[in-house]
Amino acid sequence: MTNSQLTPGIAAGRLAAGDYARNFADIAPRLDAHEARVAADRCYFCHDAPCMTACPTSIDIPLFIRQIATGTPEAAARTIFSQNILGGMCARVCPTEQLCEEVCVREVAEGKPVEIGRLQRYATDTLMATGVHPFVRAKATGKTVAVVGAGPAGLSAAHRLAMKGHDVVIHDPRPKAGGLNEYGIASYKTPGGFAGAEVEWLLKIGGIRVEHGKSLGAGLTLDGLRADFDAVVLAIGLAGVNALRAEGEDLPNVLSAVDFIAELRQQDDKSKLPVGRNVVVIGGGMTAIDAAVQSKLLGAENVTIVYRRGQDRMSASLHEQEHATSVGVRILHHAAPVRVIGDGAAREVEFAYTEDGPKGLTLKGETFRLKADQVMKAIGQTLSGAPEGLTLEGGKIAVTGAGRTSVAGVWAAGDCASGGEDLTVTAVAEGRDAAEDIHASLMEAAG
C-alpha cells in the first residue's frame, strides 16, 4: 500500500464482497431521455444568463438546454464541446452548486436550480455513446507543438491545437493519460473507466500523439522542447505535497491523500485495498473529502477530517461536505496537527485548537488526541519540476494573457499556472485559451 505498512489497525477486505460494488457505484446516474426533457423544461432560457458568466468555460448553457428540450441532445453536446472538450468529465466533477447552479434564476427564486450538471452529462454521454467525434481537423499547418502533461489543461490545449491543424505531441510521466481525471478523483464520481474512455474519444480528432514515461527533468528539457517544436505548453500540474510540519509525520501509515486516491482509482478490486480502522484526514479541500469518503466506503470504522480553520474557509463545497457527513465522516474545525504519535507506526494524532484572528492563525494552549492507525495529508500541493528560467509567482509559473510565460514560445495552463482556481473546468478553459493564443501567434509568424 502506498507509503503505508500493514499494521493490526489496517486491513483489506473489511466489507462483504457485494458492498464494494454498491459503495463505489455511480453517485449520480445519468438522466434518461424523459427525465432530461422534464429537467430542461424548468429552464427560463435567460437572455443575460448568469449561469454562462459563472461557467469558467463560458458554455452557452441556455442554448444547450433548449436543444435538449427540443429533443436534439447531440446538438446540445456539440454546443458544450465547442467550449469544453472535457464537458463529460466536468459534468461529473465540476462544483456546479458553487458555479452555474448557484446563480441559476430558479435557485434564487425557488431554492432549486435547473440541474445543469446532470443535463450536461446527459447530452455529452449521448453523443459520446455514438462514437462520433464532433469536430474535424483544419488543413495541416506544418507547425508542431509540445504539451507537457496529459491532464485536463494539457488535453484541452492539445485538442484545440490539433483542431486548428497543428501536430501535437503530449508528454506525460504516467502510464495513462488524464492527469487528475484518471488518478485524482473519487471512484464513485467516474466509475466504469470513463476518464480513459474520454481520452480515447478526444484523441479521435487526430494529430495528437501521447508519449508516456517522460517529464521535465526525466527525459525532457525545456530548451530541448523549444528547439524541437514551434511552441510548448506546460500543463504539469502540482506534483509536490505540502508537509504537515508536525512531529512524527514521517512515521509509517502517514501518507499523501493524493497517493491514496490514485492507488484506489487504479485498483479494479476494491476489496484488496487495505484501510485503517481509525482514519484521520488533515485538510479542508476536495482531496480531503474524497479521501475521507472513500476510506469510509472501504470499511473504515471511524473517519475524521480535521481542518485548521472554520467551515466557511473550507475550499470543499458545502454539498461535498454534506455528502461526507451523510456517509459517516466526522468533520472537525479549528484544529491543527502538532504531533503524530506512534511506536513504529502512527497510532494517534495530537491537535491544538486554533484561533483565526486579525494576525492570522494561532494555536491555543488546549490540545486533544484522535486515534489514527492511518493519517492522510490533504493540505495542498506545490509546484514541482518547473524548469529554471521561468518566472514564478505565488509558487506557480507566472503567466500573462492567455498563459504566456516569461520565456518566449512557452505557455502554461492549469494548476501549475498562476491565477485562477484549481478546478478541472478552469484547467480546461486555460488550456483552450492558451491553444488559441498559440495558434494566433504561429499564424502571425507564418505571415
Exposure string (b/e) for 304-331, b if CB count within 10 Å is 16 or more?
bbbbbbeeeebbbbeebbebbeeeebeb
Do residues 121 and 88 make contact, with C-beta atoms less than 8 angstroms apart? yes
Amino acid at 354: T
At residue 2, does pLDDT exceed 50?
no
What does pLDDT average to over the chain?
95
For domain 10-18+242-377, give the CATH superfamily.
FAD/NAD(P)-binding domain (3.50.50.60)
Residues 82 and 98: their CA atoms lie apart, in Å, by: 23
pTM of the full predicted structure? 0.95
At residue 1, does pLDDT exceed 80?
no
Counting other chains too, the contacts that 64-68 makes at CB distance below 8 Å and 24 or more residues apart are: 64/119, 64/120, 64/123, 65/40, 65/114, 65/116, 65/119, 66/40, 67/123, 68/36, 68/37, 68/40, 68/119, 68/122, 68/123
Reference 433, options 235, 196, 138; nearest CA is: 235
Q: Topology of 41-129 in CATH?
A: Fumarate Reductase Iron-sulfur Protein; Chain B, domain 2 (1.10.1060)
H or E stretch including 169? strand 167-172
Provide the residue ranges of all domains of the chain, joining segments of one domain with +.
10-18+242-377, 41-129, 144-239+383-446
Question: What nine digits make up the cell of 204?
Answer: 479521435
At residue 4, does pLDDT exceed 70?
no
Percent of the chain with pLDDT over 70: 98
Question: What nine digits make up the cell of 363?
Answer: 494555536
- The tens digit of pLDDT for each residue in 288-344 reads 999 999 999 999 999 999 999 999 999 999 999 999 999 999 999 999 999 999 988
On the question of a common fold for 10-18+242-377 and 41-129, the answer reads no
- The tens digit of pLDDT for each residue in 418-436 reads 987 889 999 999 999 999 9
- The tens digit of pLDDT for each residue in 158-205 reads 999 999 999 999 999 999 999 999 999 999 999 999 999 999 999 999
- The tens digit of pLDDT for each residue in 370-407 reads 999 999 999 999 998 888 899 999 999 999 999 999 99
Q: Topology of 144-239+383-446 in CATH?
A: FAD/NAD(P)-binding domain (3.50.50)
- The tens digit of pLDDT for each residue in 54-108 reads 999 999 999 999 999 999 999 999 999 999 999 999 999 999 999 999 999 999 9
